Structure 1
Amino acid sequence: MVATFDFDDPQRYEGPITAEELQASVKRVTGVDATVTDVGDGIRFTDLARQVTDYRNARVFLAGDAAHVHSPSGGQGLNLGLMDAVNLGWKLAAGRDILDTYSAERHPVGAAVLHNTRAQSALLRPGPHTDALRDVMSDLMDFPDVVRYFGQLMSGLTIRHELPYEVDHKLAGTYCPDLQLTYADGTHVRLSDLTRAGGPLYIGPPDVVSTGRADLEAALIRPDGVIAWAVAPGGSYETLNVAKQTWFGPAA
């Protein structure tokens, strides 16, 4: 396999990669006169990072690559597009006025991915200034907190959606972890076992006596896994009905 990151090529190519094109690119990048006689499976990509201004236009909704295009650095595109679809799917099924929250929630997430992939593309460029920056970044990656930060950034685990009401809990608006729940009769179950039907889920008293977290007594979880409401032990349940009605209607 041969791959080149060819920043010096003044032309923007389209169509299949030819043996002559790859051979010229290898020469520019490495200075080696390699002979390429055939290309079995060639792909190309550029960093034309861009994003639509709004994911909704009347009855038209955009998701995945139709809504945002970016460098494949970090392998974030698949997860980003899937979570667009998961966010939009249950809101379409609800058939209510919550569809405007799709763009409001997912557009900032897409923008954040474009931002960090642009930074990664910048680190690929040749030259002494970028070489120095790469050295600094390499040194920083020796710190566990830095590694943790980038791991969470790439995985999307730090995403927090703004909710249209006040919830005084740090998990509200985030994707719910796979909690181990304990029922009042002492039996245990993983949260993921309860979400297979794809509907909303309330966990907490009186049925669930423990969520496996000391800071979480109860939570309302949307079909896309986002915590719509949460309360710590001893906290107030006053806004629970507001969250229910916002996402699931008055009948909730």
Structure 2
Amino acid sequence: MITHRTYTKILKLTVYLIIAYFIYNIIYYYISYSKLQVIKESHKFKVSSLINISENRLTYEAEYYLKDHFLGISCLLDSTYYLSITKVGQLSTNKSMQDIIYFSSIPFLDRNSLFNRNDIIAKTVVSTNETSAIFYNVSILPIIQISKVNVYLKNKMLSKNIISKDIIEYIINSSNIDLSFNDFNKNDFGYVGFDGESSLIFLRDISNNLYIMSLSPIIELKEDGSYRFKSPYRSLKEILQE
């Protein structure tokens, strides 16, 4: 039979372990976040290395690195559209882009769950032009070997454009986009933003690296908390045809 004294010791130990766990999570998060470098002054990566577009149409805002690995870049396109590119890893297969991307109707494990949150950090906001918050699983990005990508949307995909064998564009209307790699059913990467048409674009470079691009019109926030898009939505396919 457990005595009152033994019960008290067990209760205290449990409380100490819970406190230690939360302290560990906080420390782990800030250690992970400290590895995210934001560079605004100079930009080595060029969007034109992935898509056929003039650099004169682009205004770079920031470049991101994680553990000295290039992670992504954000910029304005034609001073009208916000474009964010993230390098998520390297494809371990030569399958077509359509054969590795799947859309799921079931949400993945919550990025804010008790045992998952310390691997997830949010991208630093660098300007008021940003149309969504981006979340990374820093334990795997941007060096994971990828054989399959699962995408969960709060709303359905509207349509898609196959721009080339290495570029596929999905037109969506969803404020939440979650991605999971290699069938682990865990949220590894995602966007949280505004409802409205936007593009989710997958790109493969000559080294088989996989990039994910988000494209949407710039948002104008109003004093009452409402918002509007400064220009009509246009797909990447339409923009590249200009």
* Fold conserved between structures, TM > 0.5: no
Normalized per residue, the structure richer in helix is 1
What is the TM-score of this pair, normalised by structure 1?
A: 0.28
What is the TM-score of this pair, normalised by structure 2?
A: 0.29
| Larger of the two Rg values belongs to structure | 1
Normalized per residue, the structure richer in strand is 2
Question: Which structure's relative contact order is higher, taking Cα pairs within 8 Å and 6+ residues apart?
Answer: 2
